[in-house]
Structure 1
Amino acid sequence: MAPYHIRKYQESDCQCVLDLFSQGMTEHASTTFRHILKLPKILVFLLGVPLALFLVSGSWFLALVAGLTLLAALRFLAKYPWTEYVSHTLRTDMSDISKTYLSGPGSCFWVAESEGQVVGTVGALPVEEPTPQKRQLQLFRLSVSSEHRGQGIAKALVRTLLQFARDQGYSEVVLNTTMLQESAIALYQSMGFRKTGQDSSEIWGLIAVPILQFTYQLPSAQVSQAS
């Protein structure tokens, strides 16, 4: 028997869900920081500024302080967009989860529970401007606590959402994720999602982070009923 079970969101889950979401997003700051440090223009900047300062002042100490200051600034730069994203989300769809996700028949929000604790989440909303001839459901807020990863919880949550989409007669499930979320990308691809687009989000207009769109094709409601 699985050490967890999946059920619909309840109001009593609110604080646990918000904490889990916020913690999960904060984790991406380290990945973003490592990504920034690998960029050639950033490496040139990190090495060039301290070197130029040393050549002008002759002080290795000032060069070292400049290098550490730049690293601290880049660390903040990497964390800032995730902090802002969490803040924005808590003011929008996650400000009232029941109203956003459970007020209509074509949307839902689930939690994975283990030993009375919420350890995973996923939400689903209809796409506001779907592709012509298609009913699309969008996956949101997939998150699993770090202590409970590797147990198949994320995959079970996605499967629950896909079954909901089938039952509701949707033709596609779509989602967006960043290129930096490698484990999430691997999960989606292993479950049959395919990359269908790419956009770019810039951090303060300086560093572009690719945003990938994935799509999972579902049989139409009519085909499901006929089979």
Structure 2
Amino acid sequence: MSTFFIRLYKDSDYEVARQLFVSGTAEHTTEAFKHAIRQPHIWPLLLALLVLPALDIVSITTSICAVTIIVGFLWYATWRMYRNYIRLGFFSDMLDIRKHYLEQDGHCFWVAESGGQVVGTVATAPSPYPGGEKHLELKRLSVCESHRGRGIAKALCRTMIDFARQRGCEAVVLTTSLAQKDAWKMYDKMGFRLTHTFYRPKPFTKLLDFKILFYQYDIPELQ
């Protein structure tokens, strides 16, 4: 097991950090698609379409085509949702990481390095959510697949929490999706609490049941 250490972002980390953002986001497409197709407003429809040929209502070819179209649409809608999220990141905070995270008060960006390579990232910014005047948001947490299970993600989270504590913040907040099971399980173990869920005002989020989970970690007051 290789060791790792966490440090502040450097300009030479730019391409790797962006690639980790892409891979860490896009990998959830399959799980989100599987979740969507299991929804009670989806799978009964698919099942009914497969049964119709046995009742001589439609042909087998028509049935298969209809199922293929629906499944294909669900996959495309899920893929496009993640693709648009990546594009938004590329044209906002991930476009100029130094300017956005290291040159603004209350912002920061760290990387985890192992064997001379950047294998993880995490960032923070003031919370944009209501009631979060003394809250920081945990963002852009990602660890490359080959280095998972070594405590890197937890260490990155603790680094960000320590940063918030040193600034006198009351809490750390974050959002994650229902498809990111490993992430929200880790947040649960670290003491974050799920406060609520919601749907982003984007097309097809309710159809796909693409819920966003909102977590909060309350920073204990120093005695």
Taking a change above 3 Å as real, the CA distance of residues 72 and 124 of structure 1, as seen in their structure-2 partners, is same
Quote the Cα distance in structure 2 between the aligned partners of 1:45 and 1:129: 38
TM-score by length of 1: 0.88
- What is the TM-score normalised by the length of structure 2? 0.89
Which structure shows the higher helix fraction? 1
Give me the whole-angstrom Cα distance separating, in 2, the residues matched to 1:85 and 1:117.
26
Provide structure 1 residue ranges, at least 5 long, that are not aligned to the other structure. Answer: none
Report the counterpart of residue 33 of structure 2 in structure 1.
Answer: 33
Per-residue CA distance 1:124-182 (angstroms, 9 max, x = gap): 001245527x5110000111111111010000000101111111111111111122211
Q: 202-211 or 15-24: which moved more?
A: 202-211
Structure 2 residue runs of 5 or longer lacking an equivalent are none
The answer to which structure, 1 or 2, has the higher relative contact order (CA under 8 A, 6+ apart) is 2
Say yes or no: does 1:164 pair with 2:160: no
Counterpart of 1:208 in structure 2 is 209
Following the alignment from structure 2 to structure 1, what is the Cα–Cα distance between the partners of residues 160 and 77?
A: 34
What is the aligned residue count?
A: 220
Q: Could you tell me how far 1:72 is from its partner in structure 2?
A: 2.3
Q: Does 1:84 align with 2:66?
A: no
> Shift of the alpha carbon at 1:192?
1.0
The 10-residue stretch of structure 1 (184-193 or 120-129) with the greater mean CA deviation from structure 2: 120-129
Q: What's the C-alpha RMSD, in Å, of the aligned pairs?
A: 2.1
- CA distance in structure 2 between the partners assigned to 1:26 and 1:127 by the alignment: 24
- Say if 1:149 and 1:121 are closer, same or farther in 2 by CA, change over 3 A: same
Q: Which amino acid aligns with 2:172?
A: V
How far off its partner does 1:37 sit? 1.6
Identity %: 38
Separation of aligned partners in 2, 1:98 and 1:196 = 31
Partner Cα distance (1:89, 1:68) in 2: 32
* Structure-2 change in CA distance of 1:35 and 1:203 (3 Å): farther
> Take 1:139 and 1:209, find their aligned partners in 2: how far apart are those partners?
20
Distance 2:216 2:70 in 1: 39
Q: Deviations over 1:89-141 (max 9, x none)?
A: 11111111111111124210001111121111100001245527x51100001
Partner of 1:12: 12
